[in-house]
Amino acid sequence: MSESQFAPLKNDRFLHALQRQPVDRTPMWMMRQAGRYLPEYRATREKAGSFMDLCRNTELACEVTMQPLERFPLDAAILFSDILTIPDAMGLGLYFVQGEGPKFKKPVRTSADIAALEVVNTARDLSYVTDAVTAIRHELNGRVPLIGFSGSPWTLATYMIEGASSRDFARAKEMLYNRPEDMHQLLSVLADSVIDYLNAQIRAGAQVVQIFDTWGGALGHSAYREFSLQYMERIVQGLIKEHDGRPVPVILFTKGGGQWLEAMADTGATALGLDWTTDIAQARARVGDKVALQGNLDPAILLASPERIRQEVATCLAAFGQGSGHIFNLGHGVTPQVDPAHAGAMFEAVAELSPQYHP
């Protein structure tokens, strides 16, 4: 997809901050910004019939991606999709149970199960995702950049092995420790699939990509490096570095990954996402010259009063301090029970309070 087929970018604050270049204020977006906390999203999802039907409907996926931009002064849009599209395309039978989350009809547990998996061909198996990316870019009309994304290989593997969400990842960890060769084979297929998937999103119009390592923090210290980080590094190295004359930034986000920031920064990623358990001032001192930092309010803060939300925003901005390289975000996705007005209060506070850090 040629850049000339899309409107020129009118707001590139987010892209500049990712490269740690000067900006007029701290750019902002939030994970899961198109989601159940918005009544307009719930209405569109009801119209779609099911969550995956919404993901697969280009027009409706575009519609929900745009909804938060109509409410808030965001500096980025993020593709509306799900991290489990890759295992779904592998034929594992993804489905969702109300109140229980994602499940797979055919979990991957044996060596034979793993040997039967093939690297996903995005053009063949996930064209509905790239169709949505292109449609959203056209609909944005240069308003803000578009983020594409994928789950990390380890995070995808946990769902594929457990067959659902898990509290302790017992089956996945049993494979990791007792049959590491099987786990490495599975992660290798997933890493190559993610490379194909994200590169297809970039070619379709995604200007930034984020890798969501939601469950990396559940691993032990050496296991994280061997079974999660090395595969994310392989992905970063395999991605398109520049498209249509612009660098394509990569954001790595490991929930619970604060102890590995230096190693994450060495992967070649452009930015690291921080959850709320990591002090952003300490993170900047550790890795700030190498990468931008994204984060990191506790999503539960949005359940507090607008006044308290403003205080927490002020604290976060002050902790990062002067200069560029900070993208304001939550430390994980916004939760369904949040009042949209409280998200609005957060964004208003960032817009009002952050210019002082960008003289």
Residue 308 belongs to a domain: no
- Asked if 18 contacts 208 with a C-beta cutoff of 8 angstroms, the reply is yes
First vs last C-alpha separation in the chain? 37
* 251 bridge partner residues: 210, 271
- Asked if 114 contacts 182 with a C-beta cutoff of 8 angstroms, the reply is yes
* pLDDT at residue 1 in the model: 46
Amino acid identity of residue 32, one-letter, is: R
Annotated binding site for substrate: 32-36, 82, 159, 214, 332
> Domain containing 99 — which CATH number?
3.20.20.210
**Range of the structural domain that residue 240 is part of:** 3-298+322-332
Amino acid identity of residue 134, one-letter, is: T
Chain centroid to CA 190: 17
Which tens digits make up the pLDDT trace of 289-300? Answer: 899 999 999 999
Q: 0.85 exceeded by the pTM?
A: yes
- Asked if 190 contacts 153 with a C-beta cutoff of 8 angstroms, the reply is yes
Which tens digits make up the pLDDT trace of 118-177? Answer: 999 999 999 999 999 999 999 999 999 999 999 999 999 999 999 999 999 999 999 999
Residue 35 belongs to a domain: yes
Residue 23 belongs to a domain: yes
The Cα–Cα gap between 264 and 216 comes to 12
The Cα–Cα gap between 251 and 263 comes to 14
Q: Which two tokens stand for residue 37?
A: 């906390």
Residue 115 belongs to a domain: yes
Residue 341 belongs to a domain: no
Please identify every residue annotated as catalytic.
32, 36, 45, 82, 159
Q: How many domains does the chain have?
A: 1
Which tens digits make up the pLDDT trace of 21-73? Answer: 999 999 999 999 999 999 999 999 999 999 999 999 999 999 999 999 999 99
Residue 351 belongs to a domain: no
Those residues whose C-beta lies under 8 Å from the C-beta of residue 57, and which sit 6 or more positions away, are: 48
- Asked if 329 contacts 294 with a C-beta cutoff of 8 angstroms, the reply is yes
